[in-house]
Amino acid sequence: MRVPVDWLKEYVDFELSSRELAEKLTQAGIEVEGISQLDSGLDGVLVGEIIAFERHPASEKLWVVQVDAGKERVQVVAGIQNYQCGDKVPVALPGAKLAGGEITCRQVRGIDSQGMLCSAAELGLDLQVEYGILILDKDTPVGISIVTALNLDEDILELELTPNRADCLGLLGIAQELSALTGGKLKRPEVLPAGEKPLPAERVKIVIEDSNLCSRYTARITEKVVVRPAPLSFQLRLLKAGIRPINNVVDISNYVMWETGQPLHTFDFSCITGSEIIVRRASRGEAIVTLDNQERELAEDMLVIADCCKPVGIAGVMGGLNSEITAATETVLIESACFNPVSIRRTSRKLGLVSEASQRFEKGTDIGGTLFAVNRAAFLMKRLSGCNVLPGAADNYPVPYKKKIISLRPERARAVLGMDLPAAKMKEILNQLGMDTRGEAGCLYVDVPSRRRDINGEIDLIEEIGRIYGCDFLEATLPWGIMTQGQKTPAQKNINTIKRFLTARGFFEIITFSFLRKKALQDLLLKEEDPLLKAIPLENPLSEEQGILRTTILPNMLDTVKYNLNR
């Protein structure tokens, strides 16, 4: 999980440096493996403003461009013209080192060129922008480093999360942790509420055939969508998170997933036959071409998203090419669902298809967060594409989440932690973690939010208090215990006495594995109804010689005698 620090600051206030932030998170159990940056060595690349340009006198395919680079005005010969006067562009001055080599002053068809105008690819950025020179925002200051202009030197925390902390697979989850650790104010992103009335069934109907595999499916519809590249700053955020930008619609779904930890998927709604979404198991012999243009055969235990005629996506793993967002898309259905983690894991492994979405569904997503995520996506869709978002959401929620209320004894917490914490402090910590806590000093009652699937009992709450409060306040004490002399127990002494007695009379001790080959029991010529033949087979035996659990030691003894006699 990659966490761009400046992006994180949008959701929680803190004044820590990146290293202090990493240390504080690691001490609280959110391990930070390292700190990286997107900057790949772009020294000497500045922001320039196009002053004038004209065709090269000796070539119709070249342009002579005058650029204000801040401290100086330079002349550059360019091979493409997708800019206008006043546009801000990256200009690499002599001495800058790019992927293609070092930039030098040179003559191009008799005209001096004192640098190079750069495309996104030449800067090492995989952006979805107009072909040609990268056009920067109008308000970008002239003469500053492109690294500063694009915030490429922003620190990115690389987290190694344990499987139980699925709530931290989104920036809001990390922000909640930091709010508790630092006392900083938590800030929720803006959403477009769906309203109290649901989306009419004639617009879209959601059918869930097995609530054990899909416990909630929420959708909203947007119309008059214009599919185009997302804003440059938006794409750069995704790049820092390790996600390749595609277009504004798909980028929004990925952006919200990184914010909330809730995977989203967007369908071209005009490709959905019958205006009905059916969440069902795949039929025998069914196949689908996924977004990576690969045809995949589906097993009957795999969960799919389908319309009344065909599957349009593999639930929680990848969408189908037959409902892909394209430049012609005008109506979009935004999906936000909660799928069974075991089902998604099996499907992903069987198909050999792992995605950011599947990794989150495998660890378990927040069943109470599907509506918030789809409302957040609707807000961004309206802002970035100017579309019309239909009021209401289609929300099939067959088995609503039953709130967990756990009682916590402060005295018990103090005994386990070895800290003399007042009940009021415990209450404060739990409230900062988003757990509504009430009660008096003798007993606290804690409402566990649906996103915290790892909190199931009192001891889990005590652990939360301990890791947020920190170990720095533990009183230093020396270990103590009763000193004893190392010796064998009476039972061990008796066993050794018996062994010595038997070996003194010519017996041998045999130690063998607890496994047998299946044929070994048949060699004993036992009757068919003999219970010794009912051995338990191993699913993954090391070899055929160790394929079943033994029901008698006799075959092992005979094998040992045979082995020794042969030598």
For residue 121, give the CATH number of its domain: 2.40.50.140
Task: Indicate whether 474 pLDDT > 80.
Answer: no
Q: Average pLDDT for residues 208-220, to the nearest whole number?
A: 96
190 pLDDT higher than 80: yes
In a domain, 199, yes or no: no
Q: Can you give the residue range of the structural domain that contains 34?
A: 2-38+154-182
Vertex 247, ends 319 and 329: CA angle to 5°?
70
Average pLDDT over residues 268-291: 95
438 and 312, same structural domain?
no
On whether both 63 and 23 belong to a single domain, the answer is: no
DSSP β-bridge partners for residue 47:
90
The pLDDT of residue 476: 78
Rg (CA), the chain: 32
Encoding tokens for residue 154?
A: 């922003």
Residue 330 has pLDDT above 90, yes or no: yes
Mean per-residue pLDDT for 369-377?
97
**Is 200 a member of any domain?**
no
Whether pLDDT at 533 is above 90: no
Tell me what the pLDDT averaged over the chain comes to. Answer: 93
Furthest-apart CA pair in the chain: how many Å?
110
Identify whether residues 175 and 30 lie together within a single domain: yes
Whether residue 282 is contained in a domain is answered as: yes
Residue 539 has pLDDT above 90, yes or no: no
Per-residue confidence (pLDDT) for residue 298, from 0 to 100: 96
Q: Are 22 and 167 within one domain?
A: yes
Is there a domain that residue 316 lies in?
A: yes
Percent of the chain with pLDDT over 70: 100
46-67 pLDDT, tens digit per residue, is: 999 999 999 999 998 999 999 9
Residues 283 and 418 in one domain: no
Tens digits of residue pLDDT in 231-255: 999 999 999 999 999 999 999 999 9
- 116 belongs to a structural domain: yes
Give the pLDDT confidence score for residue 85 in this predicted structure: 96
Question: In this structure, is residue 251 part of a structural domain?
Answer: yes
Here the CATH number for the domain that contains residue 9 is 3.30.56.10
Domain boundary among 354, 379, 396: 396
pLDDT, tens only, 155-169: 999 999 999 999 999
Does residue 79 have a pLDDT over 80? yes
Provide the terminal-to-terminal Cα distance of the chain, rounded to the nearest Å: 59
Percent of all residues in the chain with a pLDDT value above 90, rounded to a whole number: 81
The whole-number pLDDT of residue 503 equals 92
pLDDT category of residue 559 using cuts at 50, 70 and 90 = confident
- What are 2's two structure tokens? 């990659």
- Helical segments of 441-489, H only: 458-469
The dihedrals phi and psi of 539, each to the nearest 5 degrees, come to -70, -40
* pLDDT on residue 8: 97
Asked whether residue 95 is assigned to any structural domain, the reply reads yes
User: For the residues 478-499, what does the mean pLDDT come to?
Assistant: 88
Query: Do 260 and 389 fall within a single domain?
Result: yes
475 has a pLDDT exceeding 80 = no
Q: Look at residues 469, 492, 520 and tell me which one is the last residue of a structural domain.
A: 469
Across the range 392-404, mean pLDDT stands at: 93
| Domain final residue, candidates 346, 363, 396 | 396
Query: Are 270 and 388 in the same domain?
Result: yes
169 and 306 housed in the same domain? no
Do 310 and 265 contact (CB within 8 A), yes or no? no
CATH code of the domain containing 222: 3.50.40.10
Domains in the chain: how many in total?
5
Q: What is the pTM of this model?
A: 0.83
Shared domain for 245 and 373, answered yes or no, is yes
Give yes or no: residues 230 and 303 share one domain.
yes
Answer whether residue 188 is part of any domain: no
387 with 256, same domain: the answer is yes
Please check whether residues 329 and 381 belong to one and the same domain. yes
482, amino acid identity: I
Measured at the CA of 416, the angle between CA 413 and CA 417, to 5 degrees, comes to 80
